Amino acid sequence: MKGNTASDRYDHKFGSSPPLSLGVEEELLLVDERNELVAEGELVLERITGPAADRVSTEIFSEQIELKTGICHGADDVLAHLGELRRLVADEGFHMLGAGLHPTSSSEPRLVSNPRYEVVREDFGNLLRTPPCGLHVHVGIPDPDTAVRLANAFRRYLPALQALSANSPFQAGVDSGHASARTSIVRSYPRFQVPREFRDYEDFCRVADELIAAAGVDDYTYIWWDVRPHPQLGTVEVRALDVQMNVAGSSAIAALVQAIAARELADPSGVDLSREALEESYFQAASHGLDAEILLDSAAPEPGRDACRRMLDSVWPYARELGSESALTEIERVLREGNGADEQRLVYRGAGMQGLLSHLAERTTR
């Protein structure tokens, strides 16, 4: 009988898309010709028409937009979809920055008028001081319990993924001392955290129901864990990432997430690390990027680059089978040259803040 368990009340679409298919969402900042934030999110939606219009949406702040791919089979699809969407917005005369935070903005942003965001405004209050921009990667999953098993497994990869993707060292015109200041900001919001491990889909649904009731929100989409099953879309969603400067970076991260999923489904790692230790390791990665000491598959921390290299080596065969191997060369480049935070700091040392803003604007259009 329907309604006897929590999972009975969660209609889901697991199995509705091909296993290991991808969907990517990237949040981008809107800026003017001087690369300062502008509240034009609603105007973008008014201008964008045609088949791709439903792939562009506003986010909580008027100073940002979200671009969403369709269902993609691999990294090449992600690259094409996101590239088309960025060009579409740019062709309408809008300027974008691909960074987890705007490096200089300190003014209070404007919230989009939307009933969903009124709940957010009430919960977050004056914590909403600057638009944080993330990259979300969805992986299509065949059934609910597999989704929970994969979400559990992804928890141990979050510190390494954070170290690779960190792209927000500057906040309000100064170096924050963190590779991902975006992470420090969103950690002050409710329900942004590494989740605990769930026994099965029923356990996930029960905890989600309790949290929904405690928070006074409508559904589980107000639970912004770093990785979560997403029943409405039939995916596991990895959320703990800074948006990347260009689409090559976004597609590379998506390829890596897809390959990790394939590896875990074929050969589960079975690593048992506490939520508390993973949360701390994730914080260390957000603070120090690839220079952090992080956990991967044991309770002994290791240098971030070493952990990321071992992670990458372990998933290469799966990326090859998925046809996304070439995209991982961008991850190789990051391990050699540094992540987005390293690049931002390097440009700032040579060209100052205005030079950095120009660099971000130019990189976002490539």
- Binning pLDDT at 50, 70 and 90, where does residue 274 land? very high
The pair of three-digit structure tokens given for residue 146, joined into one six-digit string: 């597999």
Task: Tell which residue, 205, 193, 152, 150, has the closest CA to residue 12.
Answer: 205
- Binning pLDDT at 50, 70 and 90, where does residue 3 land? low
Structural domains of the chain ordered from first start: 6-364 (3.30.590.20)
Give residue 127's pLDDT: 65
Average pLDDT rounded to a whole number, residues 149-170 = 98
pTM, two decimal places: 0.95
The pair of three-digit structure tokens given for residue 150, joined into one six-digit string: 């994969």
Average pLDDT rounded to a whole number, residues 209-220 = 93
Q: State yes or no: pLDDT of 97 exceeds 60.
A: yes
Give residue 2's pLDDT: 46
Q: State yes or no: pLDDT of 1 exceeds 60.
A: no
- Binning pLDDT at 50, 70 and 90, where does residue 212 land? very high
The pair of three-digit structure tokens given for residue 189, joined into one six-digit string: 């919001």
Chain center to CA of 151: 14
- Binning pLDDT at 50, 70 and 90, where does residue 109 land? confident
Q: State yes or no: pLDDT of 87 exceeds 90.
A: yes
Q: State yes or no: pLDDT of 115 exceeds 50.
A: yes
Cα 357 from Cα 262, distance rounded (Å): 37
Q: What is the pLDDT of residues 124-147, one digit of tens each?
A: 766 667 899 999 999 999 999 999
Average pLDDT rounded to a whole number, residues 47-66 = 92
The pair of three-digit structure tokens given for residue 102, joined into one six-digit string: 């705007």
Cβ–Cβ under 8 Å, residues 134 and 168: no
Cβ–Cβ under 8 Å, residues 364 and 245: yes
Give residue 79's pLDDT: 97
Q: State yes or no: pLDDT of 119 exceeds 80.
A: no
Out of 7-21, 33-47, 118-132, pick the least confident: 118-132
Average pLDDT rounded to a whole number, residues 70-98 = 97
Q: State yes or no: pLDDT of 210 exceeds 90.
A: yes
221 versus 112: the higher-pLDDT residue is: 221
Measured CA to CA in angstroms, residue 261 lies from 135, 293, 325 at distances of: 17, 24, 14
Q: At residue 293, what is the residue type?
A: E
Out of 29-38, 94-103, 117-126, 223-232, pick the least confident: 117-126
* Cross-strand bridge partners of residue 240: none
In the block, residue with structure tokens 């990189």: 363
- Binning pLDDT at 50, 70 and 90, where does residue 162 land? very high
**What percent of the chain is modeled with pLDDT above 90?**
84
Phi, psi of 37 (to 5 degrees): -60, 140
**What percent of the chain is modeled with pLDDT above 70?**
96
Average pLDDT rounded to a whole number, residues 188-202 = 93
